[in-house]
Amino acid sequence: MAADPSSETPSGEKLYEGKAKIIYATDDPAVLLTYFKDDATAFNAQKRGQIVGKGQINCAISTHLFQRLGAAGVATHWLETTGDRTMLVKALQIIPLEVVVRNLTAGSLCKQTGLPLGQRLEPSLVEFYYKNDDLGDPLLTGDRIRAMGLASEEQIGTLRRLALNINQLLTDFFMDCGITLVDFKLEFGLDAQHQILLGDEISPDTCRLWDQSTDDEAQRVMDKDRFRQDLGQVEAAYQRVLERVLAQSPKN
Ligand code: UDP
């Protein structure tokens, strides 16, 4: 590995470029390299922009959260972080579902149900959305998931259990950081042994995170809602999340 991989463009074949990340092949077909970009999109890519430094911050936050979840027994795709925007991950057959866990009402839940913002949900909700930009990532039901052949009854149950376990671990961790985990999105995939692993990223792009030190509705937002809603100070908020995550992580 080069001394400063962050300054390099990954050398492997580009396999896929998404809104926030690029996936490259490596010499090992079972391993992929994920590159975190500064690009940001919202509202199904109708709003586009850049959050300077986001790639590094999300790579670092995801690294720490994957390591923590791994230490707690959650199987994830993370293998090694090789640069300040790059991590090696296990190649997975991605299940095209966005698994959203909600602890407090926000976002599309409020829009679609009329529930007020910030109401605690007991028990937490687990929702499945179809990962398909052309269709606008629609909300699915268990019956629809089975009818579409996206996952079996048993796999849906496993995804729910995994998502709720991860929610407990992340909620407790962010609580120690003085941050409320409002909701978040996970993606899962199957490895060569057909085991379900956590994939993608966990970052302020994919979580709603509220600073517990203020009740102010705009000030408390430490996640991509700052970009979605033009609240300003987006990078600074992401940086504050990283600092708090690092402060709670064991030094080595
Ligand atoms: N989310 C995501 N990617 C998506 C859609 C949602 O990471 O394509 C995250 C979002 O950041 C939030 C949670 O999933 O933490 C729930 O999002 P919601 O359904 O409220 O959608 P939104 O209105 O934010 O698009």
pLDDT digits (tens, 9 = 90+) for 170-190: 999 999 999 999 999 999 999
3-state DSSP assignment of residue 46: coil
| Topology adopted by domain 5-90 | Phosphorylase Kinase; domain 1 (3.30.200)
Rounded distance between C-alpha atoms, residue 200 and residue 131, angstroms = 13
CA of 185 to the centre of ligand 1 (A): 6
Q: Do domains 5-90 and 93-232 have the same CATH topology?
A: no
Beta strand pairing call for 86-90 and 93-94? unpaired
Nearest-atom number in ligand 1 for the CA of 224 is: 11
Task: Name the pLDDT band for 30 (thresholds 50, 70, 90).
Answer: very high
Phi/psi for 238 (5° steps) reads -60, -40
pLDDT single digits (tens) 215-238: 999 999 999 999 999 999 999 999
CA of 11 to the centre of ligand 1 (A): 32
DSSP 42: E
Q: Is the dihedral of CA 220, 226, 229, 230 positive or negative?
A: positive
pLDDT single digits (tens) 101-148: 999 999 999 999 999 999 999 999 999 999 999 999 999 999 999 999
Provide the pLDDT for residue 10: 86
Rg (alpha carbons) of the chain, rounded to whole number:
18
Rounded distance between C-alpha atoms, residue 19 and residue 161, angstroms = 28
Report domain extents, the chain.
Answer: 5-90, 93-232
**CB distance 226 to ligand 1 below 6 Å:** no
| Alpha helical stretches, state H, 116-152 | 142-147
Say which residue the tokens 């922009």 belong to. 49
Provide the pLDDT for residue 46: 94
- What is the pLDDT averaged over residues 61-85? 98
Task: Name the pLDDT band for 39 (thresholds 50, 70, 90).
Answer: very high
Provide the pLDDT for residue 249: 78
Nearest to 21 by CA among 1, 5, 2, 40: 40
CA angle centred on 203, ends 77 and 183, rounded to 5°: 105
Provide the pLDDT for residue 85: 98
Atom 11 (ligand 1) nearest CA: 206
List of residues 6+ apart from 205 with CB closer than 8 A = 20, 40, 54, 58, 223, 224
Provide the pLDDT for residue 80: 98
Q: Which of 44, 94, 137, 206 to mutate to test the pocket of ligand 1 (most atoms within 8 A of CB)?
A: 206
Phi/psi for 135 (5° steps) reads -95, 0
List of residues 6+ apart from 153 with CB closer than 8 A = 142, 146
DSSP 6: G
Does position 5 have pLDDT exceeding 50, yes or no?
no
Task: Name the pLDDT band for 251 (thresholds 50, 70, 90).
Answer: low
Nearest-atom number in ligand 1 for the CA of 182 is: 15
| Topology adopted by domain 93-232 | D-amino Acid Aminotransferase; Chain A, domain 1 (3.30.470)
CA of 89 to the centre of ligand 1 (A): 23
